[in-house]
Structure 1
Amino acid sequence: MGARIDQFCEDLRQKLTSADSGLDSLKAKIDGKVAHVEQDVQSHLDRVRKRVEQGRTKIAAAQADIQEWADQKKAATSDRIAEWKATRELDKLQGRADKAERYAAAASAVAVAALDEAEEASLEAWLARQDANAAQAK
């Protein structure tokens, strides 16, 4: 399980670093009032939207795994788990551990995908504010 936690941390770090780098570049252009900055933001937004769209199937499967874990967790009460331990029902304990690991992987995938969605929302908000400001200036 330690490897899974390490992988989650690495995936999250890479996603945050990538988003930070891309947004820092856009921020510098915005602050520098570079011509065509809206086109650059729109281009970046298009790339993020493509990533979000490509991940939809994976995320839907991950959300199904999360729901399955939640349903099975209700069925496997602490008394039942204690009984499995006491009677050494390894197949049930191993199955529960396998499902818990799938749940952890699914939750990690959803968390990483949420970063893309947050980046998408931030870029859309900036573009919407630009539209509002441009309309007000006229």
Structure 2
Amino acid sequence: MPIKQNDPKALAKFTGSLVRRAQQRHVAIWLSEVSAEITSVQYAALEILQATPGVNQRQLGDELDVDRSTIADLVARMVRNGLIERTDDPDDKRSYVLYLTADGKKQLALLRPRVEEVERVLTAALTARESRELRRLLSALLPPQV
């Protein structure tokens, strides 16, 4: 039996379709609640740099689970926008270490409550236990981090 066009229930048996639709919902909520200028990946980078100032670009890419060209573009954009600063790594002259700028710290503090609101809106139909279980199950779909 063919799948009816525009029938979201027909695709509900496919995990990938559900993940894609959930991601689309996340992006829509992010744009309305958080920022059209700072993406969720950029926000995650700000959080990582707040927790571990001075990590190098490769380590940040590993933490964000993005490839080398993506992290290079992301860092360049964030440097251009004044959110982070990039300096030579004193231990490896071929590498850069990254720090939040004063504006990056300010943006992180401003955005954090909005990001928490995205989480609340996105999981409003779930109990706290179901939210934890959803995060556990989604994490199980990802390859283990080395």
Same structural fold, with TM-score higher than 0.5 when normalized by the shorter chain: no
Q: TM-score, normalised by structure 1?
A: 0.29
Q: Higher Cα Rg: structure 1 or 2? A: 1
Instruction: Tell me: higher relative CO, structure 1 or 2? Use CA pairs within 8 A at least 6 residues apart.
Output: 1
Larger strand percent = 2
Q: TM-score, normalised by structure 2?
A: 0.28
Larger helix percent = 1
